[in-house]
Amino acid sequence: MNMATLTTNQKICPTCQRSLISNDYTPTLKERTIMKFIVDYQSQKNKSPSYREIAFHVNLKGINSVSTYLCRLKSKGYVDFIPAKKRSVQVIKEI
């Protein structure tokens, strides 16, 4: 999607600059599954999972999909992460 064609009511992820499709602030089933996996992984291993581990666990084809989901969750206020830092995902608001 060309950034010039975005309408004024569409939201842009401040981290990855992608258009957020939905204005709904309730996480989808896939987003809730990702958040639960992150919380469980952190409680067991005391570190955040990698994007590849998240993709494998929730049956996504690649890490770009994980990045998209995490950007949406960040814009909804459920997770936070440092974009260029490995294993920096933190759930800040649980469901």
pLDDT (tens place) for every residue of the chain, 95 residues total: 444 444 455 566 666 655 555 555 788 899 999 999 999 999 999 999 999 999 999 999 999 999 999 999 998 889 998 877 889 999 998 77
Backbone angles phi, psi at 90, to 5 degrees: -130, 130
Contacts of 89 (CB under 8 A, 6+ apart): 38, 48, 49, 70, 79, 80, 81
Q: What is the Cα–Cα distance from 84 to 10, expressed in whole angstroms?
A: 25
3-class state of residue 12 by DSSP: strand
What pLDDT, on the 0 to 100 scale, is given for residue 95?
Answer: 75
What pLDDT, on the 0 to 100 scale, is given for residue 76?
Answer: 87
pTM: 0.75
* Residue ranges in the chain assigned as alpha helix (H): 29-45, 51-57, 63-75
For 67, half-sphere exposure in the C-beta direction (CA atoms, 13 angstrom radius) is 14
